[in-house]
């Protein structure tokens, strides 16, 4: 099964919700700085030196789960999780993961439209996230450069980051202040690039 294959690759499956998560899942998403991002997608893979996780939206049909898990397995097998990417490279990776999923599942001729629809929604939500989060210009960081933080988190963000887009309890701090207070850069918007 796909769940066992993900486990064999060292990944843990985490079920999440767009509305209300259990306390452990909510804490995990918050600690990883992924709470807002998780509200925009149905599944995603997260990997760092401590965690290997595949997040999938709870209460999906078995068919939807298969498609999304096959897509995320594609990212893992194709080593898309080894480095960050954005823009055109991100779009190409999504296409490769879709092709991997379609080949892995070898969709019978009566179901391709359903699978294509699920994959299109997945790709569109990821592309939307890229466009909401990424800025075209490079940030030149000085001690006075302003970044944005939430009262609850320990990550700092660009002003266009999707993690803070709808948050009402945000404030700006200089880069110097962020360093003094121990903030880390957001992994989604990568404010130092």
Integer Rg of the chain from CA: 18
Q: Is the pLDDT of residue 57 over 90?
A: yes
Q: Give yes or no for a contact between 45 and 11, defined as CB atoms under 8 angstroms apart.
A: yes
Stated length of the chain: 193
Distances (CA, A) of 124 to 101, 131, 144, 169: 16, 11, 36, 29
**What average pLDDT does range 152-167 have in this prediction?**
78
Q: What pTM does this model have?
A: 0.57
- Find the helix or strand (DSSP H, E) in which 15 lies: strand 12-16
In order of start, what are the domains of the chain with their CATH numbers? Answer: 2-133 (1.10.10), 135-193 (3.40.10)
Task: Return the percentage of the chain with pLDDT > 70, whole number.
Answer: 83
Look over the chain and give the mean of its residue pLDDT values, rounded to a whole number.
82
d(CA 158, CA 41): 21
Least confident of 27-31, 77-81, 88-92, 158-162: 158-162
Q: Is the pLDDT of residue 138 over 50?
A: no
35-46: per-residue pLDDT in tens? 998 999 999 999
pLDDT of residue 120: 76
Q: Is 128 helix (H, G, I), strand (E, B) or coil?
A: helix
| More confident of the two residues 73 and 121 | 73
| More confident of the two residues 3 and 143 | 3
């Amino acid at each position: 099964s796909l769940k066992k294959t993900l486990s064999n690759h060292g990944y843990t499956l985490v079920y999440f919700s767009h509305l209300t998560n259990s306390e452990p899942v909510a804490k995990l998403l918050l600690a990883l700085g992924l709470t807002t991002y998780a509200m925009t997608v149905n599944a995603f893979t997260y990997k760092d030196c401590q965690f290997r996780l595949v997040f999938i939206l709870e209460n999906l049909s078995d068919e939807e789960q298969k498609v999304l898990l096959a897509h995320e397995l594609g990212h893992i097998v194709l080593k898309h999780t080894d480095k960050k990417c954005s823009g055109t490279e991100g779009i190409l990776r999504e296409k490769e993961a879709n092709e991997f999923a379609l080949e892995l599942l070898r969709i019978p001729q009566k179901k391709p439209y359903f699978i294509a629809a699920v994959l299109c929604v997945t790709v569109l939500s990821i592309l939307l996230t890229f466009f909401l989060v990424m800025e075209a210009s490079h940030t030149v960081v000085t001690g006075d450069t302003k970044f944005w933080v939430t009262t609850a988190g320990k990550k700092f963000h660009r002003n266009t980051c999707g993690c803070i887009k709808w948050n009402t309890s945000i404030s700006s701090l200089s880069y110097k202040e962020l360093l003094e207070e121990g903030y880390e850069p957001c992994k989604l918007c990568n404010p130092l690039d």
